[in-house]
Amino acid sequence: MNKIKLVKGGLLLGMLGFAGMLNAQEKIQFKEFKLDNGLNVIMHQDKTTPIAAVSVLYHVGSKNEKPDRTGFAHFFEHLLFEGSEHIGRGEFMKKIQGIGGTLNAYTSNDQTYYHEVVPSNYLETALYMESERMLHAKIDSVGVETQREVVKEEKRQRMDNQPYGSILTEVLKRAYHKHPYQWAPIGSMEHLNAASLQEFMDFYKTYYVPNNAVLSIAGDIDYDQTEKWVRKYFAEIPKGEKEIVRPSIVEPKRNEEIRDIVYDNIQLPAVVEAYNLPRKDSPDSYALNMLSTYLAGGKSSLLTKEVVDKQQKAVQIMALPLDLEDGGLFLFLGIANMGVSADSLEIAIDEQIEKVRTAGITDKDFAKLKAQTENAVVSRHASVAGIAESLAEAKVYYGDANDVNKELANYNKVTKQDLQRVAQEYLNKNGRVVLHYLPKKAETK
Contact positions with another protein (CB under 8 A) in 316-345: 335, 337-341
Which residues have CB under 8 Å from 129's CB, separation 6+? Answer: 87, 92, 95, 96, 116
- How many residues bind another protein (CB under 8 A)? The answer is 92
The reply to whether 121 sits near another protein by the rule CB under 8 A is yes
Question: Residue 117 CB, nearest distance to another protein (Å)?
Answer: 6
Residue 41 and residue 330 in contact, taking contact as beta carbons nearer than 8 Å: no
Looking at the Cβ atoms of 101 and 328, the one nearer to another protein is 101
Stretch binding another protein (CB under 8 A), from 27-35, 199-207, 251-259, 294-302: 294-302
- Binding string, residues 3-42; x marks residues near another protein by CB under 8 A: -------xx--xx-x-x-----------------------
Question: Residue 324 CB, nearest distance to another protein (Å)?
Answer: 25
Stretch binding another protein (CB under 8 A), from 58-66, 171-179, 263-271, 352-360: 263-271
> 33 to 92, contacts with another protein by CB under 8 A?
48-51, 85-86, 90
Measured CA distances, 49 to 220, 263, 378, 383 (Å): 7, 49, 20, 10
Alpha carbons within 13 angstroms on the beta-carbon side of residue 191 total 19
Distance from C-alpha of 408 to C-alpha of 286, rounded to nearest angstrom: 10
The reply to whether 187 sits near another protein by the rule CB under 8 A is no
> Given candidates 141, 196, 358, 375, which one binds another protein under the rule CB under 8 A?
375
Question: Residue 106 CB, nearest distance to another protein (Å)?
Answer: 14
Question: Residue 390 CB, nearest distance to another protein (Å)?
Answer: 15
> Given candidates 236, 257, 343, 351, which one binds another protein under the rule CB under 8 A?
236
Distance from C-alpha of 275 to C-alpha of 53, rounded to nearest angstrom: 36
- Binding string, residues 415-434; x marks residues near another protein by CB under 8 A: --------------------
> Given candidates 67, 88, 98, 238, which one binds another protein under the rule CB under 8 A?
98
Distance from C-alpha of 166 to C-alpha of 278, rounded to nearest angstrom: 24
The reply to whether 299 sits near another protein by the rule CB under 8 A is yes
